Structure 1
Amino acid sequence: MMVLYQDEHLIAVNKPAGWLVHRSWLDRHETQFVMQTVRDQIGQHVFTVHRLDRPTSGVLLMALSSDVARLLSQQFERHEVQKTYHAVVRGYVLERGTIDYALAEELDKLADKHADPDKGPKPAVSHYRPLATVEMPVAIGRYATSRYSLLELKPETGRKHQLRRHMVHIRHPIIGDTAHGDLRQNRGMAQHFACPRLMLHASHLQLQHPVTGEQLHISAPWDATWQGLMSQFGWLGVIPELAGVEFPMANPQDN
């Protein structure tokens, strides 16, 4: 597990796509869990303070004591932690925008069987900014070519699957989203570009250290799947610090 930041109070790791954060009775056959792996790696107990969906990769922050976990959780609850994601979506997104679209709570049939299914939608706000577009000579669906965009996403709120549901709302689903996205595009991406997973990455966290008060900026580099797709699409240099390269993109879009 790649450690991105560690001190005596907290630790941040680059969560791999497909890993659960912690053991769950809903996934009794799983063997890979971030919390247990990090605990074994550093030799001490860790406490979760926020979550990343199983298929999402990127920065995951954990506390090394219950007191620090409480302080960090409060920062997340007060929306004082700035979260930046990157995603590959279907179609061309040419202008930045804000999605202010309330979301009803998504309930799991087993885990949430006692929850109230009639709760109304809760406010949800996400900001997006296009970074690059590409048109590939591959027919997926009724068109002879396929278009994709690389987006920077910044959620203000933290509803379940918020970014995935918001991008579907504006008809630019995130590639690889099996719950809300475009199944045909997902299959085509796996077949033609060797990309069979959700293309959503938690790239940056910015927060105030709960003990020292210093500003922390934690970034998670892209994994091999991301790097491979960025290379195929000619986007590898759009965000050099995530790709581990030193050259800038020749003409990145900066809308």
Structure 2
Amino acid sequence: MQTQLDLNAFKILYQDEHIVAIHKPAGLLVHRSSIDKYETQFAVQITRDLIGQPVFPIHRLDKATSGLLLFALDSNSARLLGEQFSQHSITKTYLALCRGWTNPTGLIDHPLKYQKDKIADKYKQDQSLPQSAETFYETLAHTTVDHSIGQFDQQRYSLVELKPTTGRKHQIRRHMNHISHPIIGDVKYGDRHHNHFFNDWLGQHRLYLAATSLRFNHPVSGKEMSIHAPLEHSFLTALNALNLMHAIPESSHDSNVKPN
């Protein structure tokens, strides 16, 4: 099942002469991919057309992940920002809705087998050794839902804030699955029973993972910057249904959805 795409959630969050930050809706590709060759809409082209100039991708978000995406507006800024990403000096923050009750805090230090990207890694040789990967997390809230799945009459869920220090492909999704707390809506690494429950309960299908903030040094001024992205309406709908709106950072709220 395809993630429902809401292009109304596409927003320019910040722009100056050298960079532009957008909110990418869940279901929107960052750029053209052979994996989704029939897709016709991409964040790169939409941003370019909206601001009237070329943009340089600095990093990527999975198609199913919503949230903050940063572009450079010139090649030098792209190079300097790319160096910050490669040196892991940029702080990336995500929110995720996970199965089960996670620990209050934790560090997932689990190497991940390299996954080749058909476009970005077209000329790279296969790498057989696992790559180091670390993700810090903090549990913001726990909740339960009265619904029978398997032998359990109640289901447990956690709202988690995550800060990966490395940028491996699908790192957060794979790490949360590794500690037996897969992200709801993850069709590749998640739990299909819980995914189906959320689809039927809320009438929407998406991965409940969102990039909510970036902290980095501006490529030209050197000033430390912190940009935040509000959660997409579909994500807030789920949190509202779970009575978890009180637990999210103020910058993640959308005035169109109110806590119960």
Query: Considering the TM-score relative to the shorter chain, is it more than 0.5?
Result: yes
Q: Which residue of 2 aligns with 1:155?
A: 164
Q: Which residue of 2 aligns with 1:241?
A: 251
Q: Which residue of 2 aligns with 1:216?
A: 225
Q: Which residue of 2 aligns with 1:104?
A: 113
Is 1:135 matched up with 2:144? Answer: yes
When residues 66 and 110 of structure 1 are mapped into structure 2, their CA distance, relative to the original with a 3 A threshold, is: closer
Shift of 1:116: 4.5
Shift of 1:28: 2.3
Is 1:73 matched up with 2:82? Answer: yes
Length-normalised TM-score, structure 1: 0.91
Cα root mean square deviation, aligned: 1.8
1:167-246 aligned within 5 A:
167-239=176-248, 240-244=250-254
| SS of equivalent to 1:151 | strand
Per-residue CA deviations over 1:159-206 (Å, capped at 9, x if unaligned) read: 000000000110000011111111111111111233421100000000
Q: Which residue of 2 aligns with 1:165?
A: 174
| Contact 2:33-2:119 within 8 A present in 1 as well | no
> Partner amino acid for 1:29?
Y
Per-residue CA deviations over 1:87-114 (Å, capped at 9, x if unaligned) read: 0000011320101110011236898687
Is 1:18 matched up with 2:27? Answer: yes
- Pick the aligned partner of 1:46 from 42, 46, 55: 55
Length-normalised TM-score, structure 2: 0.89
Q: Which residue of 1 aligns with 2:101?
A: 92
| Contact 1:195-1:229 within 8 A present in 2 as well | no
Question: How far apart, CA to CA, are the structure 2 residues paired with 1:194 and 1:243?
Answer: 21
- Runs of 5+ consecutive residues of structure 1 not aligned to the other structure: 250-255
| Contact 1:237-1:243 within 8 A present in 2 as well | no
Q: Which residue of 2 aligns with 1:252?
A: none
Question: How far apart, CA to CA, are the structure 2 residues paired with 1:211 and 1:109?
Answer: 32
Number of corresponding residues: 246
Question: How far apart, CA to CA, are the structure 2 residues paired with 1:25 and 1:166?
Answer: 26
When residues 110 and 21 of structure 1 are mapped into structure 2, their CA distance, relative to the original with a 3 A threshold, is: closer
> Partner amino acid for 1:53?
D
| Contact 1:168-1:181 within 8 A present in 2 as well | yes
